Structure 1
Amino acid sequence: MSSHTERNRPVPLPAGSLAAGPVPSATAAILMGKVARRYYLEGRSKVEIAQEVGISRFKVARLLDEALATGLVRIEINPLGEIDIDASTRLQDALGLDHVVVVTVADPAPAAVRRQVSAAAATLLGEVLEPTDVLGLPWSRSVYAMVQALRSLPPIEVVQLSGAQTLEGEDASAIEVVVQAARLAGTRGHVFYAPMLVDDVATADGLRREPQVMDALNEARRVTKAVVGIGHWAPGQSTIYDASTEADREQLRAAGVVGEMAAVCYDARGHVVRTPLDKRLITVPGDVLAAIPQVIAVATGVDRAPAVRAAVTGGLVSSLVVDDALARALLAG
């Protein structure tokens, strides 16, 4: 009985499928069906239906409630393209976030999932940015893929939040991420040349004293919106985990670290954890990242569920863009 234009309207169930509640008598079911058809499929008001059928509008309202309760009518919210509207709504309500976008992925390959989810993040970013915003972008593969999918930005400043982590087979840098975004905005970007993780504290201290690094990290305090990737503290789930030594990994695990964003580590409660590794990292300080008013996190894969859940619990993110498998894991608790 439904049509394309009635996609999100309640639709009558097929005969014999009244399973949601007690089955009404035949006459009551026919009246209920008549009222439901006029209201849901024909768009009549309750007052109009009451006049046509010869009952009160209060009885019309009661019949509509019973139609839902008995299963005569069910409400379906169908996917809109690649976005799963129902899962997005349920996850947003469950997590209490400003925005949640759940993407139904077409290709299960990790790189393909990342590209598809990051493209959805680019769309969300374009919708929420205001000309008065200052956008912060750290290095991450998801953030890089998101910037590649952007087509335009309002005239905003863009700030680099971290150094770059060199990955085998990938030559994109943190500077390229910020420069490309700033070019789309028609403004300048606050950028610097530095790795995200270095081998010793002295080198890190020297890099932080570089004017470009100091400028960008100071400008990070003005950031109003940021897009970040979420890394789970496990092999293959975080570029920082993979780049650190086994001693570093064990030390952070002992400190309760479950995830990181822009190399800022946090525990299962979403509290930023200060670790000795921080002294060798070139990135925005944890308190500054936590103070950014709106943070959109992009994450893929069910293995990242603990890190995503912790970031939400600690209020480190305000919006989330994920693939459908990760969304199911998060909804399952």
Structure 2
Amino acid sequence: MNDDAQLRLMARIARMYHERGIKQSEIAAELHVSQPRVSRLLKRAADEGIVRTVVTLPAGTFTTLEEEIEARYGLDECVVVDAGEDETTVENALAAAAATYLETTLTGGDVIGLSSWSATWLAAIERLQPFRTQVASAVVQLFGGIGNPTVQVKATRMIDLLARATGAAPEFFPSPAVLGTPAAAAELRNDPSVIHILELLPRVTIALVGIGSLEPSALLRQSGNIFSDADHEELRAAGAVGDVCLRYFDADGAHVDSDFDRRLVGADADQLRAIPRRVAAAGGKRKHSAIHAALRGGWVNVLITDAATARALLEE
């Protein structure tokens, strides 16, 4: 067959298959050629640009933005959701996206570490439907969770709900997050019940965390697990802009050593960043600087955020 005839046949097969939706076997029968030849000509049509694939993104999806964030900050994955700028609206959108992320990525064998004072993750976990099979062996609280009794119930509920949904065993951190002195914190870390939780940390395969600004969230403030005015000034003077699990970092993402840090009981900075999959659900204008710093410092490698925050991260 000469080149013109070959091109004509290739173009006709391409139109029959891609535009009219005719099966390859039916094309072969109608044109009296073999099915392998139909397949070869369809491949050649794609190779030579006769057939081009165009992906039209649905409204409310941000694939290009997600890929740019991943490339800029070296993330394993970025999930961007459509939300306004109102903080409550952003939090609801992030919670819905975080719940969907868990539903699609928890497939079995994980040990989940959980930041129990994240309002976004609490809202996400409340949305979760129980998995049909066990998808995690344990849910481990990453840092001390004892606080104001009227608020502590939320942290306890969060661990319990996620454990029930995933079929995992709940592992609660039996201490406050913040002690009065470094010596008191060091002593508590040697308590057998606390050692039990600390020894589970190297087994954690996925951490679900928030990214906090220097100003604590409403939930954390109510819990009582926060710093004093003196701590706040010390952290600010040291350049702290945000935290993951109360481990504060500066604008470059470097961990900020402080008296407050030495009074914490929970996963330390190195332990947190050693967890293979570190998922943060965070967004909103108030947290732009903290999220940017957390990404620079490698505190998380999966980010669920809103479109406005994602665009701001690309402008940094």
TM-score where L is the length of structure 1: 0.71
2:65 — aligned with what? 87
What is the total number of aligned residue pairs between the two structures?
Answer: 282
The answer to whether residue 132 in structure 2 is matched with residue 151 in structure 1 is no
Alignment pair present for 1:218 and 2:199: yes
> Does the C-alpha gap of structure 1 residues 77 and 203 become closer, same or farther in structure 2, counting only changes over 3 Å?
same
Structure 2 counterpart of 1:222, which letter?
R
* Aligned with 2:57 (options 77, 82, 96): 77
Tell me, in whole angstroms, the C-alpha distance in 1 between the residues paired with 2:112 and 2:205.
Answer: 6
Q: CA deviation at 1:288?
A: 0.7
* Deviation string, structure 1 residues 195-229 (Cα, Å, up to 9, x no partner): 32233445434543443322112211211111100
Distance in 1 between residues matched to 2:106 and 2:255, nearest whole Å: 26
Q: Is the Cα–Cα contact under 8 Å of residues 111 and 203 in structure 2 kept in the other structure?
A: yes
Separation (CA, whole Å) in 2 of partners of 1:97 and 1:229: 16
Task: Give 2:280's aligned residue.
Answer: 297
Question: Structure 1 residues 210-219 or 160-169, which shifts more?
Answer: 160-169
Written as runs of structure 1 = structure 2, the 5 A alignment for 1:1-333 is: 42=19, 58=48, 60=50, 76-79=56-59, 83-105=61-83, 108-139=85-116, 140-153=118-131, 154-164=135-145, 170=151, 172-234=153-215, 239=220, 243-333=226-316
Q: In structure 2, do the counterparts of structure 1 residues 214 and 205 end up closer, same or farther at CA, with 3 Å as the change threshold?
A: same
Q: 1:248 to 1:155 in 2, by over 3 A?
A: closer
Distance 1:43 1:212 in 2: 67
Aligned residue type for 1:111: T
Task: Give the gaps of 5 or more residues in structure 2.
Answer: 1-10, 22-38
Q: Which deviates more from structure 2 when the two are superposed, residues 188-197 or residues 231-240?
A: 231-240
Query: What displacement does 1:75 show?
Result: 6.4
Higher mean alpha-carbon deviation, 282-291 vs 87-96, is at 87-96
Give CA-to-partner distance per residue, 1:121-178, whole Å, 9 cap, x none: 1221232234222110022222222221222351421111012375898554433222
d(CA) in 2 for partners of 1:256 and 1:308?
15
Q: CA offsets, 1:75-116, max 9 Å, x none?
A: 642335xx433432332333331111111126x542342132
Unaligned 5+ segments in structure 1 are 1-33, 52-56, 65-72
For 2:163 and 2:225, the matched residues in 1 are separated by 30
Per-residue deviation at 1:230? 0.1
SS in 2 for 1:157: strand
CA deviations over 1:281-322 (Å, ceiling 9, x no partner): 222111111111110011021221222122212222110001
| Contact 1:79–1:86 under 8 Å retained in 2 | no
State the Cα RMSD in Å.
Answer: 3.7
The TM-score with structure 2 as length reference comes to: 0.75
Q: How far is 1:235 from its partner?
A: 6.2
Determine if contact 1:165/1:239 at 8 Å carries over to the other structure. no
Tell me which of the two structures has the higher relative contact order, counting C-alpha pairs closer than 8 angstroms and 6 or more residues apart. 2
Instruction: Indicate the SS of the match to 1:156.
Output: strand
Over 3 Å counting, the alpha-carbon distance change for 1:42 and 1:284 in structure 2 is: same
Q: Residue 208 of structure 1 contacts residue 214 of structure 1 at CA under 8 Å; is this kept in 2?
A: yes
Contact 2:216 2:226 in 1 (8 A): no
Q: SS of 1:77's equivalent?
A: coil
The answer (yes or no) to whether the contact 2:138–2:170 under 8 Å persists in 1 is yes
Tell me the alpha carbon deviations over residues 5-53 of structure 1, each in whole angstroms, 9 at most, x when there is no partner: xxxxxxxxxxxxxxxxxxxxxxxxxxxxx99x969x83899967999xx
Letter in 2 for 1:104: D
Provide the C-alpha distance between the structure 1 equivalents of 2:200 and 2:216, rounded to a whole number of angstroms.
32
When residues 160 and 292 of structure 1 are mapped into structure 2, their CA distance, relative to the original with a 3 A threshold, is same
